[in-house]
Amino acid sequence: MVAKIFVITYSTYGHINKVAESIVKGLEKTGAEAHRFQVAETLSDEVLAKMHAPPKADIPVITPDQLPEADGYLFGIPTRYGTAPAQFKAFLDSTGGLWSKQALAGKPAGFFFSTGSQHGGQESTVLTTLPFLAHHGMLYVPLGYPHPNLFTNEEVVGGSAWGSGTVANSDGTRMPSQKELELAEFHGEKFAAIATKLSQIVANDKV
């Protein structure tokens, strides 16, 4: 059985979208089905223009009713003040109907992230989003330390035990590095392996 994984992102400047491409590569390497979505923008065009945000990538906008179709989720979120952006929170807050039916319970989820600075809150972004998973009864799948790029100190490498990631610079000039993209691809592969096993257990239970 092939697992269907939704990669759901928010990105203002494109860094998360770039990491998501490697995540998808890793997912697909395992034979999993990867589907990309973005959450809806909540800022006005006027504010986005003042933030020098480029036009949105051509990725379908997710609606909460689509979530139960997936066997697992990788959420890509750029840090805002050490936590998730309001756009992402607005999407999570729209899942009350699913929560009331516990429609996402038992499904695995992981995170990848982007910060402006090296110590700008990659871990705290995930940590402060975990209550969403807990209330839905979803299973957080961390990355752990299975990849050598997580131990590199010779250069800046985003990502940690909490998931893959990138460091964008405060002006957005740094794009995801080779090591970060390798880690993201590996993250996709590792997550797909776990989501596939879980989805097989769920499928067998239904027989």
Ligand X SMILES: Cc1cc2nc3c(=O)[nH]c(=O)nc-3n(C[C@H](O)[C@H](O)[C@H](O)COP(=O)(O)O)c2cc1C
Nearer to ligand X, 72 or 78 (CB): 78
Q: Which of 108, 120, 163, 188 binds ligand X (CB under 6 A)?
A: 120
CA distance 100 to 95: 9
Q: Which of 52, 63, 81, 102 binds ligand X (CB under 6 A)?
A: 81
Per CB under 6 A, 158 contacts ligand X: no
User: Nearest residue to ligand X, using CB?
Assistant: 120
Per CB under 6 A, 15 contacts ligand X: yes
Q: Which of 43, 82, 142, 174 binds ligand X (CB under 6 A)?
A: 82
Per CB under 6 A, 159 contacts ligand X: no
Q: Give the number of C-alpha atoms closer than 13 A to the C-alpha of residue 205, restricted to the C-beta side.
A: 7
> φ, ψ for residue 159 (rounded to 5)?
100, 160
Per CB under 6 A, 121 contacts ligand X: yes
For ligand X, which stretch binds (CB under 6 A), given 13-21, 65-73, 142-150, 191-199?
Answer: 13-21
Determine the longest span between alpha carbons in the chain, in angstroms.
55
Tokens found for residue 127: 């940590």
Nearer to ligand X, 120 or 163 (CB): 120
Binding-site size for ligand X (CB under 6 A) equals: 19
Residues with Cβ within 8 Å of 202's Cβ and at least 6 positions away in sequence, in order, are 71, 106
Per CB under 6 A, 92 contacts ligand X: no
Footprint on residues 96-115 left by ligand X (CB under 6 A): 114-115
Nearer to ligand X, 26 or 78 (CB): 78
Task: Assess contact for 79 and 111: CB atoms under 8 A.
Answer: no
Q: Give the number of C-alpha atoms closer than 13 A to the C-alpha of residue 4, restricted to the C-beta side.
A: 9
Q: Which of 79, 129, 149, 164 binds ligand X (CB under 6 A)?
A: 79
CA distance 144 to 129: 18
CA distances from 197 to 6, 31, 34, 110, 142 (A): 16, 13, 16, 15, 16
Q: Which residues bind ligand X (CB under 6 A)?
A: 11-16, 78-82, 114-117, 120-121, 168, 172
